[in-house]
Amino acid sequence: MSKKVINNQTILRQCVGIDISKDSFVACISHKTSTDEIIVKSTKKIPNSLSGYNTLQEWVTKFTSPELPLIYVMEATGVYYEPLAFDLLERGKSVSVQLAKNVKFFMQSHNIKSKTDDIDAQAIAQMGLVCLSY
């Protein structure tokens, strides 16, 4: 298993959680440590467009390590997620699309009651780190 030490924390995995809508999406980069702590590195609102997808990649590069596993996780929201998911796959990225009810149940099970785009993106990133194997 790959791992990297950053600021005295041993990072094991990375995830980009994405809450997407028609015109924009909020992405959250989170890391999981060897002590099972979830660290939110950064959150950013990005246009849901080809130029936004390029912005996403530039931003993700700043906050992630190429030596560690990285997965992009998003909710299946209508058809709005499809262009981004396909773009990421074409770039060779690992992508997981989750059913809305799975994200909802995950948030309920972690007692996350507030609902904003930032909170949803953070919860999706946490879900990717806790529930998915990659």
- Specify the residue for token string 């094991």: 12
Question: What local confidence, expressed as pLDDT, does residue 115 receive?
Answer: 81
Residues 6+ apart with CB under 8 A from 104: none
Task: Please count the other Cβ atoms lying within 10 Å of the Cβ belonging to residue 56.
Answer: 22
Question: What local confidence, expressed as pLDDT, does residue 16 receive?
Answer: 98
pLDDT in tens, the chain (134 residues): 565 666 667 899 999 999 999 999 999 999 999 888 999 999 999 999 999 999 999 999 999 999 999 999 999 988 999 999 999 999 999 999 999 999 999 998 988 878 889 999 999 999 999 988 76
Q: How far apart are CA 100 and CA 120, in angstroms?
A: 11
CATH for the stretch 11-131: 3.30.420.40
- Specify the residue for token string 């959250």: 28
